[in-house]
Structure 1
Amino acid sequence: MPQPILRTDRLLLVPLADRHLDLEVELDSDPEVLRYLYGRARTRDEVIGSHANRMALADKVDGLGYWMAFGTDGGARGSTPPPAEDDGEFVGLMMLPPAHGPDQPDDPTVSDLGYRLPRRHWGKGLASEASRELLRHAFDTVGQRRVIAQTMTVNTGSRRVMEAVGLRYIRTFFPSWDDPLPGTEQGEVEYAITREEWRATRPG
């Protein structure tokens, strides 16, 4: 199953492709966007490396990977013809790769939820909207058993999104970092939701 185009009321989610590299570079040029990841802006060469890793991860489990989100001004559902990415503003990078980190399970039935938005789109509920669609896709289409999400304990904004879409707190853990960011001493948190838990929240 190829990674599909996904739609919500306000967003068009397009599978990440090489044509999106400049948008990834733009996104990672703001140090505030990367405050809890790198603590600084990233160079183009660094983003090129990350892009290659993302494309490789998207090949590991059918249907999982990374999506670029574009605004649709409410026209995503029921529009004729459906909106194209060129019609909307870039909203962010949405992530649902197979779990792959050093503190994540090596299990193809577990995926890792994430989101990265430009500051101009913070506080609009777009990360939550995209995440709900990615959870639907993970459980109903791909057949994932579990979805996890991880962030720094001090990243309250990201934690609010996790809680808003139904993930529950699982644990706090303390990875070792060569160049720790401010707040590292409080550790990292993991949230998760199982297919059964997600389906129990669905209407009907």
Structure 2
Amino acid sequence: MNAFLRTERLTLRHFTPADLSDLATLHGHPAVMRYIDDGRPVPRATVDREHLPAILREYDELPTGMGCFAATETSSGRFLGWISLRPASSVGLAGGDTELGYRLLPSTWGKGYATEGARAVLRHAFTELGVERIVATTMTVNTASRRVMEKAGLTLVRTFFEQWPAYVEGAEHGDVEYAVTRATWARSALHSGANTPSPAEG
């Protein structure tokens, strides 16, 4: 299964070619994609031709422990979405940082899965990979994503404005950058009751 991390409810693992249908469902959902890229669902053919192959290549190209990881429910194996840890590359972010990302199916929203997965990845990054600073970004109006960042321990750094090729509703309010350093995370972790993820056997 190529398990990477486990929490109380989640297993994070490498994607495989067999995950195409689940990934296409996720990237093709209008609600999931509302605040991402051009705000439109991604066709299955594009996920098959571009998105999944790019994810699989990253496991070889990025440092060990980084990439995009399928999030599944540990008890059932049900696909929930993904959590990612990559060199920062989103528009508006400075190079040199490490970027947290997440994308989950709407049926999982409001249940704390994204926060649980994000916390596990942050712990892994700071304690196992020696990352110094983690950033994340979303549209200013994407309040649900911003709550995940805040609950995971990141704080608002700034609001910024970029020129996008296509208008997305709410773009006039700009985008936000959140961040947390390893030192800040370590101080908060001492007083946190959050569940500790365990490394999983691959």
Same fold per superposition (TM over 0.5): yes
Where does residue 95 of structure 1 map in the other structure? 84
Report the CA distance between 1:181 and its aligned residue.
0.1
Are 1:150 and 1:190, in contact at CA under 8 Å, matched by a contact in 2? yes
Tell whether 2:36 aligns with 1:43: no
For residue 88 of structure 2, what is the amino acid of its counterpart?
A
Could you say what secondary structure the match of 1:196 adopts? helix
Per the alignment, residue 27 of structure 1 pairs with 26
Displacement of 1:23 after TM fit? 1.2
Render the CA deviation track for 1:26-45: whole Å, top value 9, x for unaligned: 11221011110132221012
Does residue 167 (structure 1) correspond to residue 154 (structure 2)? The answer is: yes
Q: What do the CA deviations read for 1:40-70 (whole angstroms, capped 9, x no partner)?
A: 2210122231223333444222211111011
- Identify the residue that residue 7 of structure 1 maps to in structure 2: 6
Q: TM-score, normalised by structure 1?
A: 0.86
Unpaired runs of at least 5, structure 2:
192-202
Other-structure match for 1:123: 110
What CA deviation, in whole Å up to 9, does each residue of 1:152-172 have, x standing for no partner? 000000000001111000011
SS of the aligned residue for 1:201 comes to helix
Cα separation, partners in 2 of 1:62 and 1:72, compared to 1, 3 Å: closer
CA contact (8 A) 2:93 2:177 kept: no
**Distance apart, 1:4 and its partner CA:** 6.1
Cα distance in 1 for residues equivalent to 2:178 and 2:14 = 24
In 2, distance between residues paired with 1:163 and 1:98?
Answer: 20
For the residue of structure 1 that corresponds to 2:163, the secondary structure is coil
Maintained 8 Å contact 1:4/1:63: no
Moved more, 185-194 or 22-31: 22-31
Relative contact order, higher structure (CA 8 A, sep 6+) = 2
- Matched position secondary structure for 2:32: coil
Segments of 5+ residues of structure 1 without an aligned counterpart are: 74-86
Letter paired with 1:156: T
Asked if 1 retains the 8 angstrom alpha-carbon contact of 2:85 and 2:100, the reply is yes
* Percent identity of paired positions between Structure 1 and Structure 2: 40
Query: Aligned partners of 1:91 and 1:70: how far apart in 2?
Result: 5
The aligned counterpart of 1:66 is: 68
Aligned-partner SS, 1:161: helix
Structure 1 window deviating more from structure 2 (49-58 vs 37-46): it is 49-58
In 2, the alpha carbon distance for the partners of 1:61 and 1:105 equals: 19
- What SS class does the counterpart of residue 95 from structure 1 fall into? strand
